[in-house]
A and B are shown apart, each in its own frame.
Chain A
Amino acid sequence: MDAQTIVFAILALISLFSGIMVVTRKNPVHSILFLVLMFFCFAGFYVMLGATFLAAIQVLVYAGAIMVLFLFVVMMLNLRDPEALEGGTSFFQTLGFVVAIGFGIVLLAFLAGKPGPGVPTFPPGEAAYALGDAKSLGQELFHNYVFPFEIAGILLLAAVIGAVALAKRERV
């Protein structure tokens, strides 16, 4: 067993553990903190796959900004009594369970099949490392995929304008 496999195993165990904790904790603040831990492990996976730029962005955007907002909102809501949330299983909980099981089956089926072309192998080759840094990612984004990139930009711009329009107070 080489060092990479050991690191992968540790990261995988931590992310599985924190994933289970996210859905089983009663206290939403605990769930969010475990989710942050999980994002960290994901960043670790990205680094192992040679996608260092993506790893940094993962921590910067998800762990550093979006989860802080989540935490912010949960604290503002101040869910006083987590026990009150329990009750019976609702329709959405059942639906979520079914979807999760289905997704799990799909994933397992994917893993059981042999990797086709374009599916990354582990450990990644030199080519993957060369592709993962900011420069090549930028080349791809701004040359081959410039149209989808711009569309995504416009989508985000629309979302920002929408948020401003919603939050704007009526001028008296």
Chain B
Amino acid sequence: MAKVPLQNDPFRKYNLTLAERLYFPAIAKGMGVTLSHFFAKPVTVQYPEEKVEISHRWRGRHVLKRDEFGRERCVGCQMCELACPADAITIQAGEVPPERRHLHTTERYSVTYEIDMLRCIFCGMCEEACPEAAIFMTPFYEFTEDSRDKLIYTKEMLTEKIGGPIFYKD
């Protein structure tokens, strides 16, 4: 059976026309394309002054929420620590001392709660794992510090201040 050439065989020998062999029409065309971009408006977003509009569901800095009575929702169950694929969360759980009982929902709480923002991959698994709806991610994304230590966020930094949500934007 005779070999039938494919319709769009990329290896088919293609004879260039004279215009193509001279290159110049193609070069002129290419120069035209680049020149049109030269006069086009830049698409740059001038970052520190201008910012890209981001979704309110953006997964940025974490926040530990309080309930409507101002009590910490976190019960120190360490589900988020377990769920974290980057091992960024470190929790030490403990029993709530009696004088702090009014600040917590149960008698178990997280004594320390640290998130290493350099390890965090902002996947949101901690949010999903939390049975108490205590940890959420906010649209804040500008983590710039001059030392690595400052990027290990402690419980004090992460917990919502009493008197209203902080890092939440509608």
Do any CB atoms of chain A lie under 8 A from CB atoms of chain B in the complex? no
